[in-house]
């Protein structure tokens, strides 16, 4: 199947191969596809050995089965195996496996690149099409990484939405960071808005491990990494992980359970998510971050009344004086969704705030 998928550039042909594979009961293959394509799955593996040509005997089935390989991935994800122990376990698995299966399949799963020209979108499209007749297909769909994004609040169509109760916070000039605190696998991982793994900011990651230990479950923190030296400094750090990152801070503006993030939607309303986030500060948990992580404050206003309009104007003036890039206007009753939505609006601060 790997070879067949790699041999065609046709999206239609790839979908046909995947559909036939699922209908034929190839569940192990789809399990491996999920491990390879799910961006939240991290084995901590940068290199994995290949079986050398001299040892590549396709007639020798080896002793490493799929269940053994899955057990290896679990131990790597749980960080039971790290450093040299992980290298030794991977090398032992390679030597015990059917050579071509290791080189062309298992090894590529560990490296998160099957080299078949298929991403989660293609796989999910196939499974979604099969689901009406095979409901179990939905269980094999791959979570698609994303984050909530705002609509432009300065456009005429969204100006009409500036009514009623809103939560205001500021748009910082930094790098959007989704931080996964996964208690099951004991790992804190940082991702960019498109799912790219970020290995920089080791101090922030290490301090959040202390916070994670006291949490009741796995969560995702949505925020912005900021530097007193501005965005150019952050971009330099992203390209040079060995540079000093002690001055950066993570400003967090949302929190949701990891299970909801994987499902693509958190139904908990915005006001309640912020309440949960604020508890991290008021309970003292964020003190474990050594001041490197803080919660971005929100101000509630009612734009249907004169007091709320005046408060909005004052917030706008303060943003101008502080040189803030933008104002975020959020619906307190809205869910968190992994898409661009009008429940978040971004406006540029202006000298005068017109009456909504």
> Cα–Cα distance between 201 and 183 in angstroms, integer?
20
Of 72 and 349, which is predicted with more confidence? 72
> Phi, psi (5° rounding) for residue 194?
-100, 5
Confidence of residue 45 (pLDDT cuts 50, 70, 90): confident
Bridge partner residues of 198 (DSSP): 190
Token pair recorded at residue 336 = 């968190």
Inter-CA distances, 64 with 68, 73, 80, 102, 280, Å? 6, 13, 19, 9, 45
pLDDT of residue 206: 87
> Kindly report the CA angle at 182 between 208 and 37, in degrees rounded to 5?
125
> Cα–Cα distance between 265 and 219 in angstroms, integer?
13
> Cα–Cα distance between 81 and 89 in angstroms, integer?
8
Inter-CA distances, 354 with 34, 158, 310, 349, Å? 50, 14, 11, 12
245-302: pLDDT as tens digits: 888 899 999 999 999 999 899 999 999 999 999 998 888 887 776 788 999 999 999 9
Contact 179, 337 (CB under 8 A): no
Confidence of residue 352 (pLDDT cuts 50, 70, 90): low
SS3 353: coil
Closest listed residue to residue 276, CA positions, set 208, 222, 230, 233? 222
pLDDT of residue 356: 47
Alpha helices in 215-305 (DSSP H): 231-239, 258-263, 270-282
> Cα–Cα distance between 180 and 189 in angstroms, integer?
5
Helical pair 83-96 and 66-77, crossing angle rounded to 10 deg: 170
Residues of the chain with CATH 3.30.470.30: 149-347
Residue 187: CB atoms within 10 Å: 19
| Structure letter (DSSP) for residue 311 | H
295-331: pLDDT as tens digits: 999 999 999 999 999 999 999 999 888 888 789 999 9
Token pair recorded at residue 197 = 């793994």
> Cα–Cα distance between 333 and 348 in angstroms, integer?
23
Contact 99, 58 (CB under 8 A): yes
Which residues, 6+ apart, have CB-to-CB distance to 154 below 8 Å? 347, 348
- β 340-347/149-152 pair status: parallel
Query: What is the homologous superfamily of the domain 149-347 according to CATH?
Result: DNA ligase/mRNA capping enzyme (3.30.470.30)
Inter-CA distances, 215 with 26, 255, 283, 355, Å? 38, 12, 11, 43
pLDDT of residue 103: 94
> Cα–Cα distance between 57 and 51 in angstroms, integer?
10
Q: Is the pTM of this model over 0.75?
A: yes
Bridge partner residues of 344 (DSSP): 330
């Amino acid at each position: 199947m790997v070879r067949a998928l790699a041999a065609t550039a046709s999206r239609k042909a790839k979908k046909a191969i995947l559909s036939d594979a699922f209908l034929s009961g190839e569940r192990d293959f789809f399990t491996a596809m999920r491990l390879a394509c799910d961006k939240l799955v991290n084995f901590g593996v940068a290199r994995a050995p290949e079986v050398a040509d001299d040892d590549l005997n396709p007639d020798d089935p080896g002793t490493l089965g799929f269940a053994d390989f899955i057990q290896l991935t679990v131990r790597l994800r749980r960080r039971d195996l790290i450093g040299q122990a992980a290298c030794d376990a991977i090398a032992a698995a390679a030597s015990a496996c059917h050579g071509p299966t290791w080189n062309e399949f298992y090894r590529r799963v560990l490296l998160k690149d099957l080299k078949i020209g298929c991403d989660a979108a293609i796989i999910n499209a196939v499974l979604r099409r099969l689901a009406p007749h095979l409901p179990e297909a939905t269980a094999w769909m791959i979570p698609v990484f994303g984050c909530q994004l705002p609509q432009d609040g300065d456009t005429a169509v969204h100006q009409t939405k500036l009514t009623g109760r809103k939560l205001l916070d500021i748009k910082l000039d930094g790098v959007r960071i989704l931080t996964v605190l996964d208690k099951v696998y004991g790992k804190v991982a940082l991702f960019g808005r498109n799912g790219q793994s970020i290995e920089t900011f080791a101090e922030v990651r290490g301090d959040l491990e202390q916070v994670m230990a006291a949490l009741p479950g796995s969560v995702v923190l949505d925020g912005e990494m900021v530097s007193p030296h501005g965005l150019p400094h952050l971009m330099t750090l992203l390209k040079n992980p060995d540079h000093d990152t002690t001055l950066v801070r993570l400003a967090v503006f949302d929190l949701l359970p990891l299970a909801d993030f994987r499902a693509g939607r958190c139904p908990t309303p915005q006001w309640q998510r912020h309440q949960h986030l604020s508890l991290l500060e008021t309970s003292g948990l964020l003190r474990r971050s050594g001041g490197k992580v803080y919660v971005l404050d929100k101000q509630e206003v009612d734009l249907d009344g004169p007091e709320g309009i005046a408060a909005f104007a004052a917030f706008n003036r303060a943003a101008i004086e502080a040189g803030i890039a933008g104002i975020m206007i959020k619906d307190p009753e809205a869910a968190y969704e992994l898409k661009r939505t009008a429940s978040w609006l971004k406006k540029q601060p202006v000298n005068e705030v017109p009456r909504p």
